[in-house]
Amino acid sequence: MNIDLTNTNTRRIQEALTQARHLMGGPAVGMVLTLIIVTDESAQYDAVRAATEAAREHPCRVLTVISRDARGSSSRLDAEIRMGETGPGETVLLRMYGPLAEHADSVVVPLLMPDTPVVTWWPGGKVPKSPSEDPLGALAQRRVTDAYAARDRLGTLARLAEAYRPGDTDFSWTRLTSWRSLLAAALDQDHDEVTGGEVAAEPDSPSAELLAAWLAVRLGVPVRRVVSDGPGITGVTLATTGGDIEVSRPDGRVATLARPGQPDRQVALLRRPMADLLAEELRRLDPDEVYQDAAKRFAKDLSSGQPTDGTAEREFGGSGGGKAADKEEKSEKQDDGDGKPAAKSSGSSRSTAAKKPAAKPKAGDK
């Protein structure tokens, strides 16, 4: 069922939603959250389609905020309501004209589902400077961005890391779930001491930067970020005293896991579509401290004067020595949920990192 409302207001939209539910024989709302999509006309189709797919797992009300000509002198609100066979849940496209486009939160607030979480998603390249301070972001418990869609990918990721608040996340991090799970599983098996690492990926890949930063933080060893032809991340190498542990994925579909003294294994490692990424982020509404640690490390190393154009090698430092590092490690041992030490890195000395075994990253980090 599609309902078009021209030059309308929130009261009429609410009435139309209630009437449509009754006509379809479902007076109960039955939604678990409200998803706010902030986009433009060119990107709304793909974003709504991804939200519709994700809603099959997470029934929700999708409010798509589309700002049209904000330079007009008169405000106008057009709404398109989609319910029924077009997908699960309720989808409302809100097209705002004139000065109203600058006050989208005043339109969205009356349409939020009562007593349910709110997630705000910016699918395009127009990422707010600080998602938590954006009027629509301030309404949400979870704020999802995508630095990969921005024109300045690495600069956007660094800015988001500096402005991080609990509840922020980015699809550049979500794309790493399969990689992090595979690497954690490889290191769960007996292995020699890890002394360094390398992440190879296409230029300007925010996911590759976060993966290198995560490995440096969790393993406490230097990790280099090198450029390859892509697509996406093409390989990760962990150097150990007994040989290299290597994950190679040259085609973006199937990876090869190579370990010293063991036969190579083929592992499915597909580049996931947007709907899968969104569905994963909707599964957790609590703050992601592991993403915060990786993003902060990336921003810190980027601010130290290393190359930012994505075409040159960059290295994320390993763990430092001394009493401060020992104190941090002791604190991590007390705080880590599974009782295993999780080394924090505070320097860039390869020789220091080689003096003690590296911690294993956990598959349950995300």
Report yes or no on 365 lying in a domain: no
Report yes or no on 22 lying in a domain: yes
Report yes or no on 366 lying in a domain: no
Question: The domain containing residue 288 runs over which residues?
Answer: 177-360
Report yes or no on 302 lying in a domain: yes
Render 101-137 in DSSP notation, one character per residue.
Answer: GGGHHHHHGGGSPTTS-EEEE--SS---SSGGGSTTG
The CATH number covering residue 71 comes to 3.40.50
186 and 161 together in one domain: no
177 neighbors 366 (Cβ within 8 angstroms): yes
185 and 165 together in one domain: no
* Of the residues 116, 149, 171, the one at which a domain ends: 171
208 and 256 together in one domain: yes
User: Into how many domains does the chain fold?
Assistant: 2
Q: What was the pLDDT predicted at 326? A: 36
From the list 70, 62, 20, 17, the residue with the least C-alpha distance to 44 is 62
274 neighbors 48 (Cβ within 8 angstroms): no
CA distances from 84 to 20, 26, 147, 335 (A): 9, 10, 33, 47
Burial (CB count <10 Å: 0-12, 13-18, 19+), residue 220: buried
273 and 302 together in one domain: yes
The string of pLDDT tens digits covering residues 196-216 is 999 999 998 999 999 999 999
217 and 167 together in one domain: no
* Of the residues 171, 206, 235, the one at which a domain ends: 171
pLDDT class of 86 with cuts at 50, 70, 90: low
The torsion region of residue 102 among left (phi > 0), alpha (psi -120 to 50) and beta comes to: alpha
Average pLDDT over the chain, rounded to an integer: 82
Mean pLDDT score, 98-110: 92
The string of pLDDT tens digits covering residues 34-69 is 999 999 988 899 999 999 999 888 888 999 999 887
Question: What predicted TM-score, i.e. pTM, was given to this entire model?
Answer: 0.81
pLDDT at 72 over 90: no
Strand 90-97, strand 76-83: pairing: antiparallel
Q: What was the pLDDT predicted at 313? A: 61
* Of the residues 171, 206, 227, the one at which a domain ends: 171
216 and 159 together in one domain: no
Phi and psi torsions of 245, nearest 5°: -100, 120
153 and 196 together in one domain: no
44 and 153 together in one domain: yes
